[in-house]
Amino acid sequence: MKRSTFNLPLTTLTHLSAWLPLAIGLWDLWQGNLGPDPIREATLRTGKSALILLLLSLACTPVNFIFKYRSVLKLRRPLGLYSFMYASIHFAIFIGVDYFFDFGLIQDALLEKRFAIVGLSTGIILLFLAITSTKGWQRRLKKNWKQLHRLVYAAGILAVTHYIWLVKQGVSQPWVFAGILVLLLSMRVKPIKNWAASLFRQLSSQRA
């Protein structure tokens, strides 16, 4: 019973919060709150939103496995698609605003720097996953669909690498994301996820 009442708010909440960074960003742009370098600020914000949504999408499966909370499973697709949306805005700002369609410079900037190459690779993976996220593609690809969508792990690793390679030595925030990613990926390893699930069962039975 509890689950069905939570179901709708959870989905609604997810959709609303996913649009929130964009709404706040547009508001700050309108109000001139993006600081002296609004282009950089907008790039960083959309990039971070994309990364957070991607990690949230990756969190759904372990959350279900450990806490037996099935409703989160259907959030994987919208969270992934929102991540792709922010990644697209991020890329569009880079091309159209930051470099103002100066393709000579874009080519140099994009293909010379390792952080840019991994960023672009992340985007390409997300693009493929977004295109094939529909029911139709799921049917057409059959078993291969699941295989293909395992690429989301690669996207997660590349996205965090993109962030780590972007910042200077000693800037710690990307490592927080790296830690979360490692945690989420390790929850795909059988002994670890079984241990986590049994730990949770023990804790909840103790409380009861």
Partner 1 sequence: MKKILPSEITPENIYLSRRDFLKSMGIVTASAAVLAACGPSAPLTSSPELTTESAGTTPAAPMANTDELGDPLNSFDDIANYNNYYEFTTDKQRVADLAEGLQTSPWEVQVGGLVNNPKTFSIDDLRKFEVEERIYRMRCVEAWSMVIPWMGFPISKLLAEVEPKAEAKYVRFETLVDTDQMPGIKKNPWYQWPYIEGLRVDEAMHELTLMATGLYGKDLLPQNGAPIRLVVPWKYGFKSIKSIVKIDLVTEIPTSLWMAAAHNEYGFYANVNPEVDHPRWFQGSERRIGELGRRETLVFNGYKKEVAHLYKGMDLAVNF
Q: Minimum distance from CB of 169 to partner 1 (Å)? A: 5
Q: Does 136 participate in binding partner 1 (rule CB under 8 A)?
A: no
The answer to the question of residue 114 lying near partner 1 (CB under 8 A) is yes
The region of 50-58, 64-72, 104-112, 128-136 touching partner 1 under the rule CB under 8 A is 104-112
Footprint (CB under 8 A) of partner 1, residues 59-98: 97-98
Number of residues located near partner 1, criterion CB under 8 A: 25
Q: Cβ 100 to partner 1, closest distance in Å?
A: 3
HEC sequence for the chain: CHHHHHHHHHHHHHHHHHHHHHHHHHHHHHHCCCCCCHHHHHHHHHHHHHHHHHHHHHHHHHHHHHHCCHHHHHHHHHHHHHHHHHHHHHHHHHHHHHCCCCHHHHHHHHHHCHHHHHHHHHHHHHHHHHHCCCHHHHHHHCHHHHHHHCHHHHHHHHHHHHHHHHCCCCCCHHHHHHHHHHHHHHCCCHHHHHHHHHHHHHHHHHHC
Residue 99 touching partner 1 (CB under 8 A): yes
Question: What is the smallest separation between the CB atom of 183 and partner 1, expressed in angstroms?
Answer: 22
Should residue 169 be labelled a site residue for partner 1 when binding is judged by CB under 8 A?
yes
Given 8, 23, 102, 199, the residue binding partner 1 (CB under 8 A) = 102
One residue of 10, 39, 141, 183 binding partner 1 per CB under 8 A:
39
Contact positions vs partner 1 (CB under 8 A): 35-37, 39-40, 97-100, 102, 105, 108-109, 112-116, 165-166, 168-172
